[in-house]
Amino acid sequence: MREVGAEQITKVVKQLALEAAYQLGDDVREALREGLRQETSPAGQDVLNQLLENADIARDGEFPMCQDTGLAVIFVELGQDVHIVGDDINEAIQEGVRQGYEEGYLRKSACHPFTRKNTGDNTPAIIHISIVPGEKIKLTLAGKGGGSENMSRVMMLKPSDGKDGIKDYVEQRVKEAGSNPCPPIVVGVGIGGTFEKAAMLAKEALLRPLDDSNPDPELAEMEYELLERINRIGIGPAGLGGRTTALAVKVEMMSCHIASLPVAVNINCHAHRHKEVVI
């Protein structure tokens, strides 16, 4: 049994919150550059150049990439042989988010659903904990902006809709989202499971590096085909028209009920912020 202090978890979460808001991942940068090479629309090229410049300014640590620094979503893979000492793991994570958002001058975007009163410290963060073998803890923080999250959906398709129905649904969703989620976007697709599991799969799909593809050849092909289809729509960077509507499509799938075909589309903007650390 390995012991890990709750204060260490707080420290790590705080650091992840800061990094996510200020440091655009190399995979996203490379995808934006690749988009720039392919883009035929002058307005689209202009936007992509601005986004790369924006990432350079943010890297200095004074201005976050985007003013919407998101709700903090934290995924924890907790080794079953780890014993957390000192405090409750949930509270340790919340405290890390509190400190990171305060000290990093990040925007607090959490509010009461009815009164819309801001909670003042960006908590509660959304925490997903899963227990895994081993004695390590993997913490991943995603800063999820409202603009792109609002464009996400779960749909219970009919089994007869099949693979084509899924692809049509994803394309349709991106079309309807249009310029709202700050294209170029990253599209996470969750297929199967139940209503809530499909949404989780879609969210987890967004944690994958942009340049990988699904190890299942059928899903890898689907990712490729969907990306092609989405980039034919014409929405383009910032929705001004162009080729670069999505940087990547990531699909995750599992079995589902014989009566169901759940599909979830979780959209992320180009401020594709997620950082992970293993303790």
Residues 133-152 that bind another protein (CB under 8 A): 146-147, 150
Please report which helix (H) or strand (E) contains residue 94, including its range.
helix 89-103
Taking CB within 5 to 8 Å according to partner kind, which of ligand SF4, another protein, none is near residue 191?
none
Taking CB within 5 to 8 Å according to partner kind, which of another protein, ligand SF4, none is near residue 83?
none
Closest approach of ligand SF4 to the CB of residue 71, in Å: 10
Taking CB within 5 to 8 Å according to partner kind, which of another protein, ligand SF4, none is near residue 225?
none
CA 187 – CA 64 distance, rounded (Å): 23
Contact 192, 201 (CB under 8 A): yes
- Using alpha carbons, list the distances in angstroms from residue 28 to 31, 34, 129, 247, 248: 5, 10, 26, 8, 10
According to the binding rule CB under 6 A, does residue 68 interact with ligand SF4? yes
Token pair, residue 198, equals: 């499909």
Among 79, 100, 181, 192, binds ligand SF4 (CB under 6 A): 181
Token pair, residue 184, equals: 């170029």
Binding part of the chain for ligand SF4, among 13-21, 52-60, 102-110, 142-150 by CB under 6 A, reads: 142-150
According to the binding rule CB under 8 A, does residue 36 interact with another protein? no
According to the binding rule CB under 6 A, does residue 51 interact with ligand SF4? no
- Using alpha carbons, list the distances in angstroms from residue 162 to 34, 148, 202, 221: 32, 26, 18, 15
CB count within 10 Å of CB 160 equals 7
The residue to which tokens 């949930």 are assigned: 90
Taking CB within 5 to 8 Å according to partner kind, which of ligand SF4, another protein, none is near residue 108?
another protein
According to the binding rule CB under 6 A, does residue 271 interact with ligand SF4? yes
Taking CB within 5 to 8 Å according to partner kind, which of another protein, ligand SF4, none is near residue 106?
another protein
Query: Which residues, at least 6 apart from 34, have a Cβ–Cβ distance to it below 8 Å?
Result: none
Residue numbers at the binding site for ligand SF4 (CB under 6 A):
66, 68, 145, 147-148, 181-182, 269, 271
